[in-house]
Chain A
Amino acid sequence: METLVQFLEKNSIYIVLIIVLIVWFGIYFFIYGLDKKVKKIEEKLEK
């Protein structure tokens, strides 16, 4: 754990990367959730 923190502090670019990936994953799963909801409504409307 210690060495990980040290490593991250030295190569800060990876901190940027982690943050960016977190943001992207968040956005992605939000859109994915929307897609699922829309599909549910569409199916309900079909029957």
Chain B
Amino acid sequence: MKKAYYIFHKDFSSELRMRFALNALIMFVVVSLSTILFAIGSEKATENVYAGMMWVVVFFSAMSGLSRTFVSEEERGTNLILSLIAHPVNIFLGKFLFNLVLIFFINTIIAILYLTLFSGFVIQNWYSFILAFVLGNIGIATSSTIIAAIIAKANVKGTLYPVLAFPILLPVILMLIEITKSAMVGESISEVQSEFFVLLSYDVVMLTASLMVFDIIWKD
């Protein structure tokens, strides 16, 4: 387990030092939100639209930022060294942790910007929203990491990642949109408990599956 933390720490500190991924991501978020602002302006939209848009921005920022952990290893040729020092489970957990922190950070920024920029976006049931936020981020991080591992082995960058990840991430996104909608109108958690249940089971299932499957992807 400690090894997983070391791998996470290595990625985290190199990211803090160089900030390749971080800068690109933050710019991406700013640009997309600005585009939406210009497009919609001060017009009021329904809850559905706000909820949908926010998670769309989240999805695309995840697509632009989360493949870096594996692709950079492949590019720099450090794969072999990595597989020598650590057990595959630890490698995956380390990368997963990194992506998790990254996505929490970015999504918090997105959520805050969203709340301040769009007056129509108000959340009444914060418990619901925050719980969904946490569970959803875990789900997004899990799937994005494992798909990133897969495409790192394929040599086509960029476009393949969203194509592969979208169907896998869709359950999370859909549930998050539903729960956000209900949180906006102030419904209690019990009304969306089936959605939460799906989110929780998704996290558990995908995390387990990723851990089992990563070994096969990683060995060459």
Q: Do chains A and B touch in the complex (CB under 8 A)?
A: no
